[in-house]
Structures are given as C-alpha cells and as structure tokens.
Structure 1
Amino acid sequence: MLHLNKVIKVFVCILLLTACSNDESKEETPIDEDALFLSELQSIVDSKIGADKLLGASISIRIDGEERWKLQGGISSGDTPIAEDMRFGIASITKTFVAATVLKLEEEGQLSLNDPISKWLTLNLPNIDESITIRQLLGHFTGLLGYFRHPDIWPRVEGNLETAIPPIELADYVGEPLFAPGDRYEYSNSNYLILGLIIEAVSQKTVGEVFREKLFGPLQLNSTYFPANESITGPIATPWRDSNGDGTLQNISSEFGPAYHSVFYTAADVFSTASDLSMWPQHLFNGSLLTQETKNKMLDFTPIDDTIFTGYGLGVREVTFAARSMWGHTGGMRGYGSYMFYDPTTKVSIAMLNNQSRSQNGPLLRYELVNELLQKVFQSL
C-alpha cells in the first residue's frame, strides 16, 4: 500500500511539472504585435464595407516613405474582391500632380506663376479673362465657373462615349464668371483645365508625356497613369455609380472610355494604386522633388470656412484628421472616390481609394474610414 502511495505521489508530481512547463511555454510565446495591429486596422475597414456602405476600398499607409500597412475590403465586381494592385480613378487628387508639374516648370525657368493666361494661350472666350495668372489658377482665385456645370457637356460625353473631346474644346463649356479674378477663393475645375492647356503650350508635349517625364518615371510611380493621353495597364477596380438617384449602384465600366477620360483631363483623370498614391505625398512634401522655397509657395494656405477643409494652397488642401492638420487632396468622379494626405509631424501618409460615387453615405463613410484609421495609427506612434 505504501509503495502504491509513493507511485501515486510521483505521478501527481510529474503531472504538476508538465502543467507548469506548459504554462511557462504559453507565457513565453511572443505576441505578434504587428499582426494584431494590422487586424485592428482591418476591422476598421471591414466596418465600413457592406450593404448600404462602401462597396470596395484599397488603403495604403506609410511612415517616412516605408509602406507599413496595406488594407483592402469589399468587391470590384461580382465575386472579384478588391486587390492591392488595382488601379482606381483618383479624381481631383490629379490636381496635386498638375500643381507639382507647373511648379517644376517654374523651377526650370520655363514659366512664371505671375504669367497671365494670355502669355501661353489665345482662347478668345468671353467667360475666361486672359489676365488671370497661373498662380490664381493654382489657388482657385479666378472666379471661373466649373466647366462640368455646363448643361451641354455631359449630353455630349454620353452621346458618344468612344470619342474623346479635344482639351481645347472643353474651355468652351466654362460659364459666366462668378466674380473678378483675385477677389476670393472658389474651387473650380476650370482652373485646372486651363493649367493643363498651359502645360501643353509650354512643353509642346501632351500632359501625359510631361507627367511621365517629370513625375511618374523618375519617382517610380509605376502603377500611375494619365489615361486621357495613355493606356492603363494592369487591373482596374470596377467603377460603380448611382446614376439615376434611386439608391442602387450600377456598374459603369462600359461607359468609362475615351470620352470620360478626355472630359476629366487635368481636373481629375489620373489613375493609380493605393500604394503608389501613398508614396506620392512622401515625394511631394517629404522629398526632394521640389525645393523648399517652392514647397513653401505650395503650402501657403488660404483659410477656408469649413469644419473639415481648413485651407487651400497651390493644388493642395489642408484638412483636419484625428485632430491633426494634414496636407493633400480629396477626389470624387464618376465611379470613384479618393483621399490622400500627409502629416508633416509624424511623416505619415495615407491613400484611400473607393470604387463608387453618388452613393448616399459614401462621402461620410470615406471620411470616417480615413479619420478612424489615422486615429489608430497616431495613437500607436
């Protein structure tokens, strides 16, 4: 009996030692903090995706040039999910590329921001004052009415989707000015249409050629395109739009041909991936693409009375996210919505691309998604 008790005691000790050993090994197993944080960011994205929410989104977040987080959610079309290499229309973020190109041309001595339109173009149009300067065009201080607002332009586009409209003819759709040049700030796509025409007049090349020569090529933005002048290669996220206002998104990829690309032109026609687009503000604000003197001009913000958009510089918005002042731009066009911003304090940049437009909650959801992701990132730093 005593022998049996000893055996039992030894057996119990072995069990206890094994349990302790297992507990210690569990405690020593390291937690993958990076994977956990990525999962938390993905949960934010997932909360914005679904019925009556965002159809699809692609996000890239960098710190000082290093891509730290890539996130996707939702679908392109059918059963095809959004993938990180998909190209989206970035819409008015295009204006940052236009502004950078114009500022590079000034650095090279090819033009001056004080040049009037008349130095480079002869438009002879009653609604365009050719004394307007390049600086006023860049900062939206012209009073020019946006050409998309002309009642005849979209019927022309939709009436012949396969025929591109020559850029010079788009100027015919600029309506009666709202005020005299220089009076005040008023955002207008017409300003960047005319800047595109000036880029072509100065360079004697297409805008697409100049973009590729000065920006896309040297900066290795290999998934960024200007389809008004060149073909896109690689997968494209399917664009969706509530065209008739009934609350249902329609696939408009069959409509997105030469006419669409031509009408968006330098106001809105750059396409890119989230990864390329999050790298762009690192070059623009944190790199050597432009001199510091030029960047100071670009970032001389005119205050705007708005709860989100607090200022506008030369092709750059100043916006508050997560209680921080950030630089970049937003965009919205048929089938796409976009955000791209950079925080000068932490050197964090974010690009968020979404494949829908005119959806009831889309604009708010896009803002909330970017804001919540940035809050999480800033809290982790």
Structure 2
Amino acid sequence: MKTIKVLIWILLFVACSSDEVKEDVPVDEEAIFLQELQAVVDSKIGSDKLLGASISIRVDGEERWKLQGGISKSDTPITADMRFGIASITKTFVAATVLKLAEEGSLSLDDPISKWLSLNSPNIDENITVQQLLGHFAGLLGYFRHPDIWPRVEGNLTTAIPPIELVDYVGEPVFNPGDRYEYSNSNYLVLGLIIESATQKTVGEVFREKIFNPLQLGNSYFPANESLVGPVATPWRDSNGDGTLQDISDEFGPAYHSVFYTAADVFSTASDLSMWGQHLFNGSLLSQETKNQMLNFTPLGDPIATGYGLGVREVTFVGRSLWGHTGGMRGYGSYMFYDPVSKVSIAMLNNQSRSQNGPLLRYELVNEILEKVFAHL
C-alpha cells in the first residue's frame, strides 16, 4: 500500500511539474509576428501575382524584419542579399546629392541650367532653375516618350549611350517653366548632367563619395558609371503584352543602364534601401532647413499619391502620410517610404514589370505590412 501511495505521489509531482514547465516557457512573440508578416508576403506571391519580392523594415534605424518571397528565376529563390533596380527611387539619391551640393555652396537651387550646361536643344529652356527640375515644374517632356529612343537602345544593347546624347530625345515642352507640376524623367536627366558639371566627376563617383560610402550603403550601385557587384535578382517583363513574363536579363546591359541614368539606374538591396530612408528623413545627411525644403509638397489631388516635394513623394498608407518614392523600370518595381510618426522605414523590391496586377499588388503588399507593423509597435 505504501508503495502505491508513493507512486501516486510521484506521478502527481511530475504532472504538476510538467504543468509548471509549460507555464514558464516564454512565447516568442517576435517570431510569431515575423510569421504573420511572411504570410502577407506569401499571399502576394504566385504565378499570377508577384514573381519575387525582398523587403526590409527598420524602426529608428534598427532593422527589425527582413522578408523574402518568390523566385529570381525557376531554380533560384529571392534572397536578402540580391540587388534590384530601384528605378525612380533613384531620384531621391539625385535630389539629396543636389541639395547636399547646395548646402556646400557648389551650386544654388536658383541657378538656371545655362549656368552649368550648354545643351543647344530647342526643347529645353536653359532658364529653367535647379529647383524647378527637382520639383518637376520645368515643363520638359519625358525623354522615354520619344519614338526613337527604345529602337536605339534595343538595336545595340551592348553600347552605352552618352548622357549628353539623351538630351536629343527630349520632345517639345508641355508648358512654360514654373506654370505647374508634371512628373518628367527629363528633369532628372538634366540634373545628372548638372551634378557632373558642378563637380567635374561622374554621378557614380559623387554618389559613392557623398552617399554610398559615408552612409555605409555597401550594396548600392550606379551601374551607368560603375560595375554592379553581387547577386542580382533576375528581371522579368511582359514585353509583348501577352500576359506572360519573360526573363530579360540578357537585355539588361550597358545600353539599359545608360538610358536610365539619373532617372532610374541605382541598384540596391532592400536592407540598404530601408537604411537610406532613415538617413534621408531621420538622419543628419541634410540639415533640417534643407529637409523642410525637400518636404514642401505640392498637392496632387490624389487620395493615395497626395504630394510631391523635391525628389520625394508623399503617399498615404494605412491612413498616414509617408515620405519616399516609388519606382518602375524594365524588369523591376520598387517602394521606399518613411513614416515620421513611428520612424518606420520600409523598402520593397520586386523583379517584374508590365505585369497586369503588379502595381496594385506592390501597393497592397506594402500597405498590409505597414498596417501590421503600426499595430504591433
């Protein structure tokens, strides 16, 4: 009888101890939250959705979450170290460089084009100022719209086009300088030429000297002027409009990089790009006075894309106004935004273009992730 009582006591002790152990095991809330964020990414990936995506989210400079989904190509998944074309987010680097040069006294935002360049183009008024170029108030027609530019690129993919020759593809102006806002890649083409004239260096050299190296953005490149090092996400594009994406990596060489130039040719990782958002809006790269100029948004009358400053978009996510830029180029789509309330920055990079649902899926992905992040913090 005593033996039975002892056994019962031991069993009860073990059972109670087991319950206590279970109660003491901590719940890894961050791991669970990471799974929730990954589920959002996974919901946007598929054969008729996004091919691949890389995402980085920082809070006040600290990288808190890194997410990847989908493929670079059939046998290669997207990885965090992959570089993507960031397309028009390049304009934030150009604008920051020009504003930095203005702070240093190398140029002025009131300078006319004629102070730095002799373009000899009937379609470019050389009285247009640097500030008008930065804010898209110049009236210049976008050079990608010229009917001869892409035949030239595609006719010789291995030969870079000198930036000064891209000026020849700027068409007749759409309004007088200063009249109103209209987004145009030609503005940033001219700004790239001004950077080179003011510094007597290539844009790539200036980016590396003033941004990439001092801010430790070691995975960011400007392939129009320098070699692109490291793994690159394969670019895909529905080139013929039949609804099927094609691998265009064989096309993406010197001609592509040169034609995108300062309108769109920076390549980066999601991690570098989310850090760039912190440096640009939450750091000391530019003075507060200069940042106030950059963030003086022209209202656009759109409920989502609400304003444009100097190389920076104001866009609504989860009912909040965030600062940054979007991007789209052959083979890539991108987002980089910063929330001044929570100090959250997010970068989302995607390796496809001209896909039917791509633009909407990219916005939904960023919006849904931010909704969860804002609720979590």
Q: TM-score range by the shorter chain?
A: over 0.9
In the TM superposition, what is the alpha-carbon distance from 1:307 to its structure 2 partner? 2.2
* The one of 162, 167, 174 aligned to 1:166: 162
Q: Which residue of 2 aligns with 1:153?
A: 149
Q: Which residue of 1 aligns with 2:84?
A: 88
CA distance in 1, matches of 2:287, 2:155: 45
Point out the more displaced range, 7-16 or 63-72.
7-16
* The one of 287, 294, 313 aligned to 2:290: 294
Match of 1:255, SS state, is coil
Q: Which residue of 2 aligns with 1:125?
A: 121
Pick the structure with greater CA Rg: 1
In the TM superposition, what is the alpha-carbon distance from 1:142 to its structure 2 partner? 1.1
- Does residue 25 of the first structure (1) align with residue 21 of the second (2)? yes
Q: What is the CA deviation profile of residues 162-205 of structure 1, one whole-angstrom value per residue up to 9, with x for unaligned ones?
A: 00000011011011111111111000000000000100111111
What letter matches 1:192 in structure 2? Y
CA distance in 1, matches of 2:315, 2:9: 65
CA distance in 2, matches of 1:251, 1:380: 38
Q: Which residue of 1 aligns with 2:47?
A: 51
Structure 2: which 5+ runs fail to align?
A: none
What letter matches 1:363 in structure 2? P
* The one of 182, 194, 206 aligned to 1:186: 182
Q: Which residue of 1 aligns with 2:305?
A: 309
What letter matches 2:327 in structure 1? G
Q: Which residue of 1 aligns with 2:133?
A: 137
Match of 1:62, SS state, is strand
Q: Which residue of 2 aligns with 1:113?
A: 109
Match of 2:250, SS state, is helix
What's the % identity of the aligned pairs? Answer: 82
Q: Which residue of 2 aligns with 1:64?
A: 60
What letter matches 2:31 in structure 1? A
With normalisation by structure 2, the TM-score equals: 0.98
Point out the more displaced range, 62-71 or 16-25.
16-25
Point out the more displaced range, 302-311 or 227-236.
302-311
In the TM superposition, what is the alpha-carbon distance from 1:340 to its structure 2 partner? 0.2
In the TM superposition, what is the alpha-carbon distance from 1:16 to its structure 2 partner? 2.8
CA distance in 1, matches of 2:34, 2:217: 25
In the TM superposition, what is the alpha-carbon distance from 1:78 to its structure 2 partner? 1.7
Match of 2:94, SS state, is helix
Structure 1: which 5+ runs fail to align?
A: none
Q: Which residue of 2 aligns with 1:76?
A: 72
- Please give the root-mean-square deviation of Cα atoms over the aligned residues, in Å: 0.9
In the TM superposition, what is the alpha-carbon distance from 1:13 to its structure 2 partner? 3.7
- Does residue 201 of the first structure (1) align with residue 194 of the second (2)? no
With normalisation by structure 1, the TM-score equals: 0.97
- Summarize the alignment of residues 336-375 of structure 1 with structure 2, pairs less than 5 Å apart: 336-375=332-371
Q: What is the CA deviation profile of residues 129-161 of structure 1, one whole-angstrom value per residue up to 9, with x for unaligned ones?
A: 111100000000011110001111000000000
CA distance in 2, matches of 1:234, 1:13: 64
What letter matches 2:226 in structure 1? E
- Summarize the alignment of residues 316-327 of structure 1 with structure 2, pairs less than 5 Å apart: 316-327=312-323
Q: Which residue of 2 aligns with 1:11?
A: 7
- Does residue 263 of the first structure (1) align with residue 266 of the second (2)? no
CA distance in 2, matches of 1:282, 1:165: 33
Match of 1:256, SS state, is coil
What letter matches 1:99 in structure 2? A
CA distance in 1, matches of 2:26, 2:284: 40
* The one of 92, 99, 103 aligned to 1:103: 99
What letter matches 1:128 in structure 2? I
CA distance in 2, matches of 1:118, 1:164: 26
Match of 2:277, SS state, is helix
CA distance in 1, matches of 2:206, 2:342: 31
Match of 1:328, SS state, is strand
Match of 1:350, SS state, is strand
In the TM superposition, what is the alpha-carbon distance from 1:9 to its structure 2 partner? 4.5
What letter matches 1:272 in structure 2? S
CA distance in 1, matches of 2:234, 2:250: 10
In the TM superposition, what is the alpha-carbon distance from 1:7 to its structure 2 partner? 4.4
Q: What is the CA deviation profile of residues 76-100 of structure 1, one whole-angstrom value per residue up to 9, with x for unaligned ones?
A: 0121110100000000000000000
Match of 2:327, SS state, is strand
